[in-house]
Chain A
Amino acid sequence: MSDLLAIRNLVVEYPVGGGRHVHAVSDVTLSVKQGETLGLVGESGSGKSSLARALLQLPPPKAGAVVFDGQDLTQMRGQALRAMRPRLQMIFQDPIASLNPRRKVAEIIAEPLIVSGVSDAAERTRRVRAVMEAVGLDPDLVWNRRPHEFSGGQCQRIAIARALVLEPSLIVCDEPVSALDVSIRAQIVNLLEDMKARFGLTLLFIAHDLAVVKSVSDRVAVMYLGRLCEVADSDSLFATPAHPYTAALMAAIPVPDPDVPLGDTKLKPGDPPSPLDPPSGCRFRTRCPHAQPRCTDEVPPLRQIAPGREVACHFPLTA
């Protein structure tokens, strides 16, 4: 499969005054293949949302290339970039906040059509109805209602419909189920899987719930403090994590089975460091039980250790 999206050496920094910067994304190189779901995991502040926004050029990154279907979005301006927009869509964590409260549901879903120049009202109505039905909303019941009249799960359906209406190639889902009730999450995960199959989508699926990520992703990328730790197909990543941080993340997942004993934390005690002043060398070294002097001096580059497996560690667990 070919790459639909290739991110190269992406850098996102936020100035915070006094000449200091938050190093949100540092030198990340990552690709998403046509038709796959790439899961992106990492703890809060590791840079997942910053990466997502930067690849959609909202705003453009400080450095790096974002090659989408052969064209570098970071080099495109104005009309050319606007012409690409319909092909990349995003779904956010907080479904209620991401929808305009003053607009009716039909207007919210039709808005991207208007922006991209679909001027025929009958055509818009037809497409909005079709996409509502696809996501399990009854057009006759929801058409004139407003977001606050809906639950979080229903709002996420509306957001998914809006993302789908322009028939995009890629949808970036930033924690699409984290804010939903546990009994609703499976509905939305299934809906995303169905939509992916039906519309031939490629997904970048960001989440911190590793079980959800495993369930939907063909491959998974793990981030820590702005850098990639590991990229692998989902089965091998979960079976044999190669990066010590991936292993720690997995050890920390609370398993819904009282007979599974709590294993070792695979972490040194202590808190995650600040992204304002990340550790030198390997950013995980302050919590890594395998750290050596070399880890302080040298940034471990992301390198291939097996076909389809990339790891940024001087001493990977499975070599």
Chain B
Amino acid sequence: MSGQPNMPLLSVRNAQVSFSTARGPLRAVDGVSFDLHEGRTLGIVGESGSGKSVLVRSLIGLVGESSGAGVGGQVLFEGRDLRSLSPREFRSVLGTEIGIVFQDPMTSLNPVMKIGRQIGEGLRLNRGLDSKAAARRAVELLNEVGIPEPERRAQQYPHEMSGGMRQRVAIAIAIACAPKLLIADEPTTALDVTVQRQILDLLQGEQRQRGMAMILITHDLGVAAGRSDDIMVMYAGRAVETAATREIFRSPRMPYTEALLRSLPRLSDATHTRLSAIPGRPPDLARRSGGCSFAPRCTYRTDHCDAEQPPLTMVGGRGYACFHPRGVEPGGAA
């Protein structure tokens, strides 16, 4: 079932998503490819609107023709092309193999169903447990995700819980059927840092203990640094850099990654240290230019950058979409 040892669990090739808007077509995701191996965590970072959520939602069918989007590319999960499955087969993969946690747990929790029942539902539908066994397992899962008094909490509704607790419940639901892949889309953005820390510890603990692969979407480079094995940086709907986490932080290739890291305030800096700001702002996706999307803000741009879009180039296990990558001798590796 788990295929050849080196086959990625998830392989995405040239993913495309476009929406038709009043101002014309908007390419929210523009040719993104990546591989994710069993047990690894891929952090997807990028600012608001860079296409992170649309990308992962399109992989699992939450964005598609039915929601008025044009979707292209290939999505292989354990070698099976998810986009060619029948709706029934697809639902079964989603219910058992892939778990999802969103930023706002209220969007995924049913407000009028008791917590315990919501956690057990997937187990009844996909794993064939009877109601009693599912209810027992739900209480165990609540305990596992750190909810005190799990028997009592199982009888409550989502509105009776705090934001942090609801996110724990959402995690319990996502892991109930023991998925191989967990997708977490900004799972802690709505939470306070102390609660964020606890939720990230929980996600990482579950991921390691169960050997799940995880896609962790975040706009916070600090979260990505501490929690992912590899990072994919998105800008304006494209993957502009992918590398092992340490390499991204030590030697960014793409000028956007470099500029973003430099712009962050650091606790080690003295008060009133001037921040190195990136000029301008992200482009309007409905008005794409033919060149590099970062060119209007980039210190290193040349005429070449305006004329042509740099493709994601893979060199020595890492990739960058730039004609003038940092830390690479001109005419060297590329």
Instruction: List residues of A whose CB falls within 8 A of some B CB.
Output: 43-44, 151, 153-154, 181-187, 189-190, 193, 208, 210-212, 214-218, 234-235, 238, 248-249, 251-260, 262, 265, 267, 269-272, 287
Instruction: List residues of B whose CB falls within 8 A of some A CB.
Output: 47-49, 146, 148, 162, 164-165, 192-198, 200-201, 219-226, 245-246, 249, 259-261, 263-267, 269-279, 281-282, 297
In the complex the two chains form, what is the Cα distance from A255 to B220 in whole Å? 9
A-B contacts, 9 listed (Cβ < 8 Å): A182-B263, A183-B263, A193-B274, A210-B267, A254-B220, A254-B226, A256-B221, A262-B201, A271-B164
Is A211 a contact partner of B265 (Cβ separation < 8 A)? yes
Tell me how far the C-beta of A155 lies from the nearest C-beta in chain B, rounded to whole angstroms: 12
Is A254 a contact partner of B222 (Cβ separation < 8 A)? yes
Of A185, A187, A254, the most chain B CB neighbours within 10 A belong to A254
In the complex the two chains form, what is the Cα distance from A253 to B226 in whole Å? 10
User: Given A181-B47, A183-B281, A256-B221, is A211 in contact with B226 using a C-beta cutoff of 8 Å?
Assistant: no
Of A153, A186, A253, A259, the most chain B CB neighbours within 10 A belong to A186
In the complex the two chains form, what is the Cα distance from A214 to B271 in whole Å? 6
Residue of A nearest to B45 (CB): A182
Tell me how far the C-beta of A81 lies from the nearest C-beta in chain B, rounded to whole angstroms: 33
| Contacts across chains A and B counted by CB atoms under 8 Å | 141
Tell me how far the C-beta of A8 lies from the nearest C-beta in chain B, rounded to whole angstroms: 27
In the complex the two chains form, what is the Cα distance from A215 to B270 in whole Å? 7
Q: Determine which of A217, A249, A258, A265 lies in contact with B271 in the assembled complex, contact meaning CB atoms within 8 Å.
A: A217
In the complex the two chains form, what is the Cα distance from A211 to B164 in whole Å? 23
In the complex the two chains form, what is the Cα distance from A65 to B246 in whole Å? 51
In the complex the two chains form, what is the Cα distance from A252 to B279 in whole Å? 30
Residues of A within 8 A of B266 (CB): 211, 256
User: Given A215-B272, A256-B249, A271-B165, is A186 in contact with B226 using a C-beta cutoff of 8 Å?
Assistant: no
Residues of B within 8 A of A189 (CB): 265, 275, 277
Residues of B within 8 A of A212 (CB): 265
Is A265 a contact partner of B263 (Cβ separation < 8 A)? no
Tell me how far the C-beta of B224 lies from the nearest C-beta in chain A, rounded to whole angstroms: 8
Is A255 a contact partner of B193 (Cβ separation < 8 A)? no
Of A44, A181, A256, the most chain B CB neighbours within 10 A belong to A256
Residues of B within 8 A of A184 (CB): 278, 281
User: Given A183-B260, A183-B263, A253-B267, is A215 in contact with B273 using a C-beta cutoff of 8 Å?
Assistant: yes
Tell me how far the C-beta of B267 lies from the nearest C-beta in chain A, rounded to whole angstroms: 6
Residues of A within 8 A of B200 (CB): 254
Is A215 a contact partner of B275 (Cβ separation < 8 A)? yes
Q: Which 5 A-B pairs have the closest CB atoms?
A: A254-B222, A43-B192, A186-B277, A215-B265, A186-B275
In the complex the two chains form, what is the Cα distance from A150 to B224 in whole Å? 30
Q: Determine which of B48, B245, B264 lies in contact with A211 in the assembled complex, contact meaning CB atoms within 8 Å.
A: B264
Residue of B nearest to A255 (CB): B222
Is A265 a contact partner of B201 (Cβ separation < 8 A)? yes
Q: Determine which of A44, A217, A254, A270 lies in contact with B192 in the assembled complex, contact meaning CB atoms within 8 Å.
A: A44
Is A258 a contact partner of B194 (Cβ separation < 8 A)? no
User: Given A214-B265, A234-B271, A248-B194, is A151 in contact with B281 using a C-beta cutoff of 8 Å?
Assistant: yes
Residue of B nearest to A182 (CB): B47
Is A208 a contact partner of B265 (Cβ separation < 8 A)? no
User: Given A181-B282, A216-B271, A253-B267, is A271 in contact with B246 using a C-beta cutoff of 8 Å?
Assistant: no
Is A267 a contact partner of B278 (Cβ separation < 8 A)? no
In the complex the two chains form, what is the Cα distance from A272 to B197 in whole Å? 13
In the complex the two chains form, what is the Cα distance from A211 to B267 in whole Å? 5
Is B264 a contact partner of A256 (Cβ separation < 8 A)? yes
Residue of B nearest to A248 (CB): B194
Is B197 a contact partner of A153 (Cβ separation < 8 A)? no
Is B223 a contact partner of A254 (Cβ separation < 8 A)? yes
Residues of A within 8 A of B279 (CB): 187
Residues of B within 8 A of A217 (CB): 271
Tell me how far the C-beta of B21 lies from the nearest C-beta in chain A, rounded to whole angstroms: 15
Is B195 a contact partner of A271 (Cβ separation < 8 A)? yes
Q: Determine which of B221, B267, B276 lies in contact with A238 in the assembled complex, contact meaning CB atoms within 8 Å.
A: B267
Q: With contacts A183-B278, A215-B271, A255-B222 known, what are 11 further pairs, Cβ within 8 A? A: A183-B47, A184-B281, A189-B265, A214-B267, A214-B271, A238-B267, A251-B197, A255-B267, A258-B245, A262-B201, A269-B198
Residue of B nearest to A250 (CB): B267
Residues of B within 8 A of A253 (CB): 193, 222, 267
In the complex the two chains form, what is the Cα distance from A267 to B192 in whole Å? 14
In the complex the two chains form, what is the Cα distance from A298 to B245 in whole Å? 47
Residues of A within 8 A of B162 (CB): 271-272
Residues of A within 8 A of B277 (CB): 186-187, 189-190
Q: Determine which of B146, B194, B195, B275 lies in contact with A190 in the assembled complex, contact meaning CB atoms within 8 Å.
A: B275
Residues of A within 8 A of B197 (CB): 251-252, 254, 265, 267
Residues of B within 8 A of A153 (CB): 281
Residues of B within 8 A of A271 (CB): 162, 164-165, 195
Residue of B nearest to A219 (CB): B271
In the complex the two chains form, what is the Cα distance from A211 to B220 in whole Å? 12
In the complex the two chains form, what is the Cα distance from A51 to B249 in whole Å? 38
Q: Determine which of A234, A235, A258 lies in contact with B225 in the assembled complex, contact meaning CB atoms within 8 Å.
A: A258
Is B198 a contact partner of A186 (Cβ separation < 8 A)? no
Tell me how far the C-beta of B208 lies from the nearest C-beta in chain A, rounded to whole angstroms: 13
Is B278 a contact partner of A258 (Cβ separation < 8 A)? no
Is B275 a contact partner of A183 (Cβ separation < 8 A)? no
Is A235 a contact partner of B271 (Cβ separation < 8 A)? yes
Residue of B nearest to A179 (CB): B48
Residue of A nearest to B165 (CB): A271
Q: Determine which of A262, A265, A270 lies in contact with B148 in the assembled complex, contact meaning CB atoms within 8 Å.
A: A270
